[in-house]
Amino acid sequence: MKKLLVALFSIGALSMGIFGLAQAEVDNPGGIGGLESLRGSAELEDTRPADDFKKFPREQIVDSSYVYQPPLIPHNIRGYEVSLNANKCLACHSWKNAKEMGATKISVTHYVNREDAVLADMSPRRYFCLQCHVPQANAKPLIENNFERVDSLDK
């Protein structure tokens, strides 16, 4: 009797599973389904319009939040090219131009290679500034964040 009940239950579950798959196909023709992310939901085959550009306060002072944090960029960098052929950041921040432009000089650490040899020009591994340095925008966080700045840890 127990085996008969298990068999009937299994057949019922299997038929419900098949029905569920058939129902999913009716609700979602072609299987394109919706994709839910932190930025909202979108159909997989649709292109969602881009978000508005974030606002970058002009000439803001951005303090570090943790030890060894790469400095944040306190200005808009829209349209800046940082590629193999050009680096717009160096127009202001290179040692040659920084004083004239009133910009912060690139750190001396950017002139040292992996073998700790000091180079005459920027190390190739430090050339792509935007790998570490990012602009700070006034943007609403996508998720709740309880990060505490390094100053708050002293208390």
Q: H-helix or E-strand containing 24?
A: helix 2-27
DSSP state of 73: B
Residue 144 tokens read as 């709740």
Q: Please, what CATH class does the domain formed by 57-139 belong to?
A: mainly alpha
Q: Is this prediction's pTM over 0.75?
A: no
Predicted pLDDT at 106: 93
d(C-alpha 67, C-alpha 65), whole Å: 7
Q: Evaluate whether 87 touches 75 at the Cβ level (below 8 Å).
A: no
**Residue 45 structure tokens:** 């085959």
The domain locations on the chain are: 57-139
Alpha carbon 115 to chain centroid distance?
A: 30
pLDDT per residue rounded down to tens, the chain (155 residues): 556 555 555 555 555 554 454 555 555 555 555 667 766 666 666 777 777 777 766 666 677 777 788 888 888 888 899 999 999 999 999 999 999 999 989 999 999 999 999 999 899 999 999 999 988 877 777 788 888 776 666 55
Using alpha carbons, list the distances in angstroms from residue 34 to 8, 42, 76.
35, 6, 34
Report the Cα 86 to chain-centroid distance in Å.
23
In one-letter notation, the amino acid at residue 93 is: H
